[in-house]
Amino acid sequence: MRFIQVGVGGFGHVWVRVLKESAAAKVVGLVDVSEAALEKACAAGGYDRAICFASLEEALKKVTADAVVTSTPPAFHKHDVVTALKAGLHVISEKPMSDTMDVCQDMLHAAIRARRTYAVSQNYRYSPPMWTMSHIIRSGTLGAVGQVKLDFFMGVDFGGGFRHEMPFPVIIDMSIHHFDLIRFITGLDAVSVQGGAWNPPWSNYKGDCSSTALFEMNNGARALYNASWCAKGTFCDWNGNWQIECEKGTVIYEKGEIRILHVPELYAWKKTEIVRHLPLKKTAQHHVLDDFIRAVRAGRRPKTDALDNIRSVGMVFATVEAMKTGRRVPVLGARLRTRVKGR
């Protein structure tokens, strides 16, 4: 499959490598507004400068492609995705779909109208521990999920860039991974959210960088999410620390280790089991790309296409709304819920 990659600097270097390493992908165009980023991407991938362009429109005029991967900052995703879809191409975009819910909805509708595949890269699903936890919970051996606690605490200085300028930086740029994981691991969807956000005095982010959110899931369970990028002290890894409590026990994840506390009856703990991670042939972006190419070829939906992802990104923007208003907010509006129901 022939790809144009838009946004090759920053995290885009991961996609330069992943596309290069895929036997099923061929890069026919690289797009970036930065000459230096294009230079570096050409060196990393062994590409000729002739396939470099300053805009997607220019690339589309000069090369023939089947799909676009975009790794520009979130505010540019709509342009890249809609331009590619209108040109008849399939698309993978980096998360989050965009930086407002209205724009995400426009992008979803553009994909439906174009009858092309639009997948969002939710690479956190495809790491052995998250894959394993999803398998444990979805197998049903521990019974129904009743409550989830996910704590994400890190002190991270990106040294400037869009994250330090945007409102609710953790929730809009990072928590999409965690919210998508809550859905992926539990197999549940969020119905509504309440929450609050604040900015500690030492934070070097403009937006509120610490937050707490409480989701009601569609089986009545609650998921409590606490997160900060300006934490001082002990940090978790990028997946966060998890406690998923089910009818017959609890799954705990911390820094790569998964434990099951078997509690088959009421509160009486029976034993603790350390769980070995399930093997995963392709991880992270490699998995996203492989699933995308197979899905396009087979005419099926990729696992994290826009119709699925709107339920995760919907959690993000409902959380933002809850934090702004102090109210309990539905995760998808009634019209959008009807649109995606059963799809």
- The mark string for 116-155 relative to ligand NAD (x by CB under 6 A, - otherwise) is -----x-x--------------------------------
Spatial distance between the Cα atoms of 316 and 322, rounded to a whole number of angstroms:
10
- The mark string for 270-299 relative to ligand NAD (x by CB under 6 A, - otherwise) is ------------------------------
The two three-digit tokens of residue 56, written as one number: 């997607």
Counting contacts by CB under 6 A, is residue 76 touching ligand NAD?
yes
Which member of 22, 65, 68, 72 binds ligand NAD (CB under 6 A)? Answer: 72
- The mark string for 164-193 relative to ligand NAD (x by CB under 6 A, - otherwise) is ---------x--------------------
Asked if residue 121 lies in contact with residue 92, where contact means CB atoms within 8 angstroms, the answer is yes
Q: Please tell me the count of residues contacting ligand NAD according to CB under 6 A.
A: 23
Query: Which window, 68-76, 133-141, 206-214, 315-323, contacts ligand NAD (CB under 6 A)?
Result: 68-76
Residues 6+ apart with CB under 8 A from 26: 1, 2, 3
Spatial distance between the Cα atoms of 312 and 306, rounded to a whole number of angstroms:
10
Nearer to ligand NAD by Cβ, of 213 and 288: the residue is 288
Residue at token pair 């989701």: 215
Cis peptide before 96 (omega within 30 of 0): yes
Residue at token pair 């406690």: 243
Cα–Cα separations (whole angstroms), residue 92 to 118, 150, 190:
6, 28, 24
- The vertex-101 CA angle with 67 and 289, nearest 5°, equals 25
Query: Which window, 25-33, 199-207, 249-257, 335-343, contacts ligand NAD (CB under 6 A)?
Result: 25-33
Query: Which window, 19-27, 30-38, 83-91, 184-192, contacts ligand NAD (CB under 6 A)?
Result: 30-38
Residues 6+ apart with CB under 8 A from 75: 98, 99, 162
Counting contacts by CB under 6 A, is residue 32 touching ligand NAD?
yes
CA 307 to chain centre: 13
Which member of 161, 196, 264, 326 binds ligand NAD (CB under 6 A)? Answer: 161
Nearer to ligand NAD by Cβ, of 98 and 186: the residue is 98
Which member of 5, 7, 111, 136 binds ligand NAD (CB under 6 A)? Answer: 7
Give the nearest distance from C-beta 157 to ligand NAD in angstroms. 14
**Nearest CA-CA partner of 181 in 220, 208, 142, 215:** 215
Contacts to ligand NAD by CB under 6 A: 6-12, 31-34, 37, 71-74, 76, 94-95, 121, 123, 161, 173
